[in-house]
Amino acid sequence: MLLNYTFFYIEANVVCIIIFAMLLVRNLGNIDRQEKQRLFDGILVGHILYFISDMIWFLIGSAKLPRTFLTVSMVNLSNALFLCCLTCFWFVYIELSQGADYIIVHRNRLLVTLPAVFEMTLLVLLFIFVPDAVVDDYLNTTNLYYTLFISMPVLYIISSAIRSFVRAWRKENYAVRSQYLVYATYPVIVGVFGILQTKWLRAPLFCFGCTITIIYVYIVSLTDQVSTDPLTGLNNRAQLKKYVASESSRIIGDRVEHYILMMDLNKFKLINDRFGHVEGDIAIKRAADAIRAACSDSPMRPFIARYGGDEFIVVARADDEEQIKELCARIKETLTAFNKDAGAAYELTTSIGYAEYNGDIAQFQDALNRADQALYEEKRMR
């Protein structure tokens, strides 16, 4: 019976490793991989390495491999390092996926990884210089080891879950609420499976839980790639149409006025011609970040999309036109501030036109055309 269970445990982990490897190979085959995808690849690799290390630990525990101080120390150290790395990658991936402005700055990202680096360094030093503190005379890991083993991973997964739940219920994120909730529940589900496996070692629940949830997250990420602009992370034109169609039935007859804001960057062609298209892409992304930041605390529940090129659209609900004027001014001021903080060698400004929209999907294109006309009237006046 023990031999059969050993085969079952190993087979389960191997199957999960194969699934993760298939996802990884598919991701690596994309020629336009973004930073989020590279972080997701790191999460996949972390899971694969952890499953391999966990299989070795199981074989040692079931006396299929020699149980010595060296083997026990190496496999437990690798378990802790791999788990810490993958949870750290997960936290950074979540922050980047959900548009956290601070995580874009390289220094801030290093600060986020410091707890993981600290734990991994401390564990390595303990296993090398004070091995008795982490492995006792009976070759069992100590309470200190288990405390360090779970402390940083728990910190990362709880932080990512809480932050995702909080963001999911912000007014400006209602259009992507379901995605944020998926991201929030992933670490919770994995944690539950991990606890169950600790209490009931007769089933490889942790690898099953990780695989099931990561597949679901992967499906959500594919949907996100289809519905978002890869450069800016904003909604794309297809998602804009879907949003308008889904909202039309809910907002027709609403007493709150709805507006469409159409904007593009002033003299953007000159930036491309003088500084190159790579810098042009950076300018577009900076503009997207500025629009997102300007709309983040707005009570008008703005929906933001990149319409194409250097054009952006915001659909917002407002009590009156003055609120829309204030939003336009805030977007312009934020873009100027972002560009100044970036130390760009060029001016980056935007012109904005807006038009009232009654919520009827049949009237959307007409409202869009009126906003576009107002945009070019402002550009002409400049």
Segment 267-278 mean pLDDT:
90
What pLDDT score was predicted for residue 239? 80
Geometric angle at alpha carbon 244, from 316 and 299, rounded to 5°: 20
For residues 284 and 231, is the Cβ–Cβ distance under 8 A?
yes
Name which of 188, 185, 186 is nearest 214 in CA terms.
186
pLDDT tens digits, 148-204: 998 999 899 899 999 999 988 875 566 567 778 888 888 778 778 877 776 665 678
Chain centroid to Cα 85, Å, comes to: 16
Whether 263 and 351 have beta carbons less than 8 Å apart is answered as yes
* Helix (H) / strand (E) containing 292: helix 277-295
Q: Which amino acid is at 220?
A: V
pLDDT at 235 over 70: yes
Per-residue pLDDT tens digits for 197-224: 766 656 788 888 889 888 888 887 776 6
In percent, the amount of the chain with pLDDT more than 90 equals 46
Distance CA 124, CA 82 (A): 13
Query: By the 8 A CB rule, do 210 and 193 touch?
Result: yes
Tell me how far apart the alpha carbons of residues 78 and 84 are, in angstroms, rounded to a whole number.
10
Is it the case that residue 366 has pLDDT exceeding 60?
yes
pLDDT tens string 118-145: 999 999 999 999 999 999 999 999 999 9
pTM: 0.68
Domains of the chain: 2-227 (1.20.1070.10), 237-381 (3.30.70.270)
C-alpha distances in Å from residue 153, one per residue of 87, 106, 134, 164, 209: 6, 22, 18, 16, 16
Q: Please, where are the H alpha helices in 98-175?
A: 106-129, 143-168
Q: Please report the pLDDT score of residue 286 as a whole number.
A: 92
**Integer Cα distance of 168 and 334 in angstroms:** 24
- Residues 52-75 pLDDT 10s: 999 999 899 888 899 999 999 999
Reduced to 3 states (helix: H, G, I; strand: E, B; else coil), residue 360 is coil
pLDDT digits (tens, 9 = 90+) for 9-51: 899 999 999 999 999 998 887 655 667 788 889 999 999 999 9
Query: 226 and 238 in contact (C-beta within 8 Å)?
Result: yes
pLDDT greater than 90 at residue 116:
yes
Identify the CA nearest to 54 among candidates 12, 87, 85, 24: 12
